[in-house]
Structure 1
Amino acid sequence: TKLDGTTIDRTFTASIADPQPRTLYNINVDATLEDGKIVFHIIVDEGFDTVDIDLGDATGNPNANWSPGEEWIDERDGEAYGTVEIGTQVWMSENLRAVAYPDGEPIPEVQDDVTWWSNNTPAYSWLYNDQATYERPYGAYYNYYVIEHKELCPAGWHMPTMQDWEDLESFVVNDGYPGSVGEALKATYSWANDNNGTNAYGFSAVAAGARWTVFDYVGELTYWWVAPDTYYTGPYSSGITANFFPWGDYTYRVGLNVRCIKE
């Protein structure tokens, strides 16, 4: 709306050459007044063959109209995460990929094996130190110093407690799923020796293994860090092996994945 009260409507279209799948692209729109017209300058870093722009609410919140089952945009880095509602819980259906805390504090990346295992401060890595290949679907691997330092999940989400994991397990058991909890929550790919799951609830757990000095058990198991609480005050984890849903305690220096649950 112009100062004289008149409104100008404009429609624009755009195309992006060679769009890449499962890649988030930021579109910045700069509206300026030139000779009585509103002119939009569109800067596209990358794009899909179809680009949907969610303008959000008046505050610019990209998740203003979000519902469980839709992607959640992590505002710290623009990463989009699938979500799934399982019983009374809403989980991200992907491992976290954040390389900074929600307040912007960066988390150092450590690639060298010796440095990783001797380090006693927050650090993350990518599987086999190859972000381009393994960022999706495996996510980042964090040592427990990252978890202990401060909340890692985006605003509106939190690191699951052991109770959250136990509630998830209880729901699957009581829901009458005919197989094991592990089978129900595992993805239909990435698991070795014909141990792929049915992904019956859309949780999509991939066999990410873990990082000790080096990466190990990739294809065989996956573990996620458990948020510290009044009982579990150290580096505890919950995870999936071939068909089981175990928990265990680990050293601070092991690298595990993180899943977030909605508050």
Structure 2
Amino acid sequence: MCILNKLFILSIILITSVFFTGCDKEEEKPNQNPTCNITSPANGQEINKGETITISVDAEDNDGNIAEVRFFIDGVGQGSVTSFPYTYKWKTENESLGNHTLKVTSLDNDGGSSSDDIFVTIIAGTFTDPRDGQVYNTVTIDNQTWMAENLKYLPSVNPSSDGFYNDPYYYVYYYEGNNISEAKATANYQTYGVLYNWLAAKTACPPGWHLPSDEDWTVLTTYLGGEDIAGGKLKETGTTHWWTPNTDATNSSGFTALPGGLCDRSEFFTYLNGFGLWWSSTEYSDAHSWFRILSSGNAKIRRDGCGKVYGFSVRCLKN
């Protein structure tokens, strides 16, 4: 056979081989981006300040795998997960009231991504006392839900000259009468609430709530960083109600502690704006109980004990 014929036949074989090889090889498909949707909370949902919210995400990738889901609050990265379920727990106790943007981004194993975002509104929780219609702001701190205002329940009222530890007594700072309506009309009642001797405080909280125990106060204090700094996180900011300098007051907990002063066993009112004092339900003798005190002059919360005859403020804790 002529050498030219052999070369021609060889060329035909090579061309045919290349053609069929090219036909057998499939074209690479472009990567499809994953899907990503926030399923909880709902867009526009209102959330009580202090609640822990679970952000849940539905993420899928039709041509691969979800490699990571990232979570953002108001544009700031909070963390990520790499496996199902795609969730993140958001603690809202240190967040400001108002609107917040929640965003999530899913990434697949080929570098594709997609995002979803919603807004939610953090509001102050409220509770209405069925006994007198008084409405209180509430706040959840860790697993405890507290009233964020001093209790105002006032079934009767006494002047500072009245008082003993074995009967309930109710006082309104600087009010020296027995007329409930007059006492409730005072600015001190409306701002700082009622001062209770211990026996009155023991039963003052509404149904579903209770006077916190010494242990309840300790749990709160520990969660907020301990006795030396927790007071600053509990106190209302500024000097509208607290004396200057109201040291290290941030109210980052949302507790909004106010300095309601006390009714002294010596039959006078004292320390309004300087100190806030709150009873616990825990006794250490027939005539004495533990309480907590905050000062305008430092960031501490102090545990102390005294006679049940004193008139202190009350913060109720949800059962």
TM-score normalised by the shorter chain: which range applies? 0.5 to 0.7
In the alignment, is the contact (CA less than 8 A) between 1:68 and 1:83 conserved in 2?
no
User: Is 1:90 paired with 2:145?
Assistant: yes
| Cα 1:87/1:119, change in 2 over 3 Å | closer
In the alignment, is the contact (CA less than 8 A) between 2:291 and 2:303 conserved in 1?
yes
Which structure has the higher relative contact order (CA within 8 Å, separation 6+)?
A: 1
In the alignment, what sits opposite 2:242? Answer: 191
Distance (whole Å) between structure 1 residues aligned to residue 148 and residue 261 of structure 2: 17
Shift of 1:193: 2.1
User: Is 1:137 paired with 2:191?
Assistant: yes
| Cα 1:173/1:86, change in 2 over 3 Å | same
Shift of 1:127: 1.2
In the alignment, what sits opposite 1:121? Answer: 167
The number of aligned residues is: 181
Q: What amino acid does structure 2 have at the position aligned with 1:235?
A: S
User: Is 1:162 paired with 2:214?
Assistant: yes
In the alignment, what sits opposite 1:99? Answer: 154
Which runs of structure 2 are paired with 1:220-259 in the superposition (5 Å)?
220-228=274-282, 234-241=288-295, 242=297, 243-259=299-315
Distance (whole Å) between structure 1 residues aligned to residue 164 and residue 145 of structure 2: 36
SS at match of 2:223: helix
SS at match of 2:260: coil
In the alignment, what sits opposite 1:182? Answer: 231
Structure 1: segments with no counterpart, 5+ residues: 1-66, 101-107
Distance (whole Å) between structure 2 residues aligned to residue 232 and residue 71 of structure 1: 35
In the alignment, is the contact (CA less than 8 A) between 1:121 and 1:145 conserved in 2?
yes
Distance (whole Å) between structure 1 residues aligned to residue 124 and residue 285 of structure 2: 30
SS at match of 2:215: helix
In the alignment, is the contact (CA less than 8 A) between 2:211 and 2:316 conserved in 1?
yes
Q: What amino acid does structure 2 have at the position aligned with 1:203?
A: F
TM-score of the aligned structures, taking structure 2 as reference length: 0.52
TM-score of the aligned structures, taking structure 1 as reference length: 0.63
Distance (whole Å) between structure 2 residues aligned to residue 92 and residue 73 of structure 1: 11
In the alignment, what sits opposite 1:34? Answer: none
In the alignment, is the contact (CA less than 8 A) between 2:165 and 2:199 conserved in 1?
no
In the alignment, is the contact (CA less than 8 A) between 2:165 and 2:308 conserved in 1?
no
In the alignment, what sits opposite 1:218? Answer: 272
Distance (whole Å) between structure 1 residues aligned to residue 253 and residue 209 of structure 2: 20
In the alignment, is the contact (CA less than 8 A) between 1:153 and 1:159 conserved in 2?
yes
In the alignment, what sits opposite 1:13? Answer: none
Shift of 1:235: 2.3
Distance (whole Å) between structure 2 residues aligned to residue 70 and residue 192 of structure 1: 28
SS at match of 1:128: coil
Between the aligned residues of both structures, percent identity stands at 29
In the alignment, is the contact (CA less than 8 A) between 2:128 and 2:134 conserved in 1?
yes
CA RMSD of aligned residues (A): 2.4
Which one of the candidate residues 203, 209, 225 is aligned to 2:255? 203
Distance (whole Å) between structure 1 residues aligned to residue 191 and residue 313 of structure 2: 11
Structure with greater strand share of residues: 2
In the alignment, is the contact (CA less than 8 A) between 2:279 and 2:292 conserved in 1?
yes
Q: What amino acid does structure 2 have at the position aligned with 1:223?
A: L
Distance (whole Å) between structure 2 residues aligned to residue 91 and residue 138 of structure 1: 16
In the alignment, what sits opposite 1:12? Answer: none
Q: Which runs of 4+ in 1 moved over 4 A?
A: 117-120
Which has the higher mean CA deviation after the structures are superposed, 194-203 or 252-261? 194-203
In the alignment, is the contact (CA less than 8 A) between 1:68 and 1:84 conserved in 2?
no
Shift of 1:137: 2.2
Distance (whole Å) between structure 1 residues aligned to residue 215 and residue 258 of structure 2: 22
Structure 2: segments with no counterpart, 5+ residues: 1-121, 176-182
Distance (whole Å) between structure 2 residues aligned to residue 186 and residue 205 of structure 1: 4
Which one of the candidate residues 256, 260, 263 is aligned to 2:316? 260
Q: What amino acid does structure 2 have at the position aligned with 1:190?
A: H
